[in-house]
Amino acid sequence: MRRSPIEPDLAARGARWTMVGHARVATRLDGDDVTADLSLCDLSPLGILGIKGPGSAAWLDAHRLAVPDAIYDTTTLPDQGILGRLGEQEFMVGGGHSPDRVDALLHDLRTAPHDVFDVEREDASFQIAGHRGRDALAQTCGVDFGTQPMNRLVLTRLAGVSGTVLPFQFGDEPAWRIWIDPSYATYLWEQLTTIIVELNGRIVGAACGMQGFASETDP
């Protein structure tokens, strides 16, 4: 079972849990029904897979995935996950509300050609959404996200932690998906929640940050 490294904080916020494949996701929190123009949610259990090797692009293409041409460009998967190119021969794929896709790809990698192999990733993942998200990020990061193109990965540091950020459009609002090493998850989550609350934003469940989750079940 994939679980979030910040589960204790989510539980304290009244988390209602959903099993999404093998992932335990906090889809609802107390106060999700309160309208706010800035939000933060945890998407850590939605797994991401690293794929690397000279044959990786061709292997992904054979799985009917739209492979980005340029380094740091991304394409969007049907479940709102991404396929991002990190190098000429390296990719990250997954992070959507159907994590079985990642499990299926990992299974297929067992019989993949020798020039394709997986890179273990256990990233924690958070999402900031809303027009004031740029103000929140400005307090943790030196990158001006007001000038960054959408759907292109940015490798940077947030509150001193190395991470990958993807600016994208979430409905009518800008949003930013963040991936970091899970050992820094609690620290960065605390930094971000403090900033979001100070900006009158809300900490919300994953169902508010990503459409497509099934009804809640209590595992």
Each residue of 108-155: pLDDT tens digit?
888 888 899 999 899 999 999 999 999 999 999 999 998 999 999 999
For range 156-170, the mean pLDDT = 96
Q: What six digits make up the tokens of 175?
A: 């949003």
pLDDT given at position 216: 47
Output the average pLDDT for the chain: 92
User: In terms of pLDDT, which residue wins out, 209 or 64?
Assistant: 64
For residue 59, which phi and psi values (nearest 5 degrees)? -65, -45
Q: Does domain 48-119 have CATH number 1.25.10?
A: no
pLDDT given at position 214: 59
User: In terms of pLDDT, which residue wins out, 112 or 60?
Assistant: 60
Length of the chain: 219
What pTM did the predictor assign?
A: 0.93
CATH of the domain spanning 7-45+122-209:
3.30.1360.120
Confidence of residue 165 (pLDDT cuts 50, 70, 90): very high
- Cα dihedral value 50, 123, 25, 97, nearest 10: -30
For range 184-201, the mean pLDDT = 97
43 burial (CB, 10 Å; 0-12 / 13-18 / 19+) is: buried
What is the rounded distance in angstroms from the CA atom of residue 43 to the CA atom of residue 35? 20
User: In terms of pLDDT, which residue wins out, 157 or 37?
Assistant: 157
Domain chopping of the chain, boundaries: 7-45+122-209, 48-119
pLDDT above 90: percentage of residues in the chain: 76
Examine domains 7-45+122-209 and 48-119 and report if their fold is the same. Answer: no
